[in-house]
Amino acid sequence: MPSDCIFCRIVAGEIPAAKLYEDESVLAFRDIHPAAPTHALVIPKAHIATFNDVSEGEAALLGRMVRAAAAVARQEGLGAGYRLVGNCGRSAGQEVLHIHLHLLGGRDFGWPPG
């Protein structure tokens, strides 16, 4: 766990977060700078810097993250739909180098994003 990774520090309990979901490998919590009425971050508890760094053995973890996002969406009443966003690298907007999915909902979204 990199000591300078804010998400690793949240997993370790060093920084508080409004948790919405947690199991042995995934944590979801509210984003402190929401871009939608519902904005949660879904992260693996293990530190993986970018989606490019996911190994073959960690591939199932991505599925667990998506399932956790779906559970949070149900819990938050987003039955009409939601958006999952995963940025890879600084040029794509990844601010924290620890993979995460943004779960956004509670309003309509346009396409294309960005």
Q: What is the CATH number of the domain that holds 88?
A: 3.30.428.10
pLDDT digits (tens, 9 = 90+) for 21-59: 999 999 999 999 999 999 999 999 999 999 999 999 999
Question: In total, how many domains does the chain have?
Answer: 1
Asked if residue 1 belongs to a domain, the reply is: no
Around Cβ 42, how many Cβ atoms within 10 Å? 26
List Cα–Cα distances, 71 to 6, 24, 112, in angstroms: 24, 15, 25
* pLDDT bracket for residue 73 (50, 70, 90): very high
Asked if residue 68 belongs to a domain, the reply is: yes
> Considering the chain, what percentage of its residues have pLDDT values greater than 90?
92
Query: Bridge partners of 44?
Result: 26
- Catalytic residue from among 33, 47, 98, 100: 100
List Cα–Cα distances, 32 to 18, 40, 54, 67, 80, in angstroms: 9, 9, 26, 22, 24
Asked if residue 21 belongs to a domain, the reply is: yes
The pTM of the full predicted model, rounded to 2 decimals, is 0.95
CA quadruple 55, 59, 60, 64: dihedral, nearest 10: 110
* pLDDT bracket for residue 3 (50, 70, 90): confident
33 is known as an active-site residue:
no
Asked if residue 110 belongs to a domain, the reply is: no
Q: Residue 33: give the domain boundaries.
A: 6-105
Asked if residue 16 belongs to a domain, the reply is: yes
* pLDDT bracket for residue 1 (50, 70, 90): low
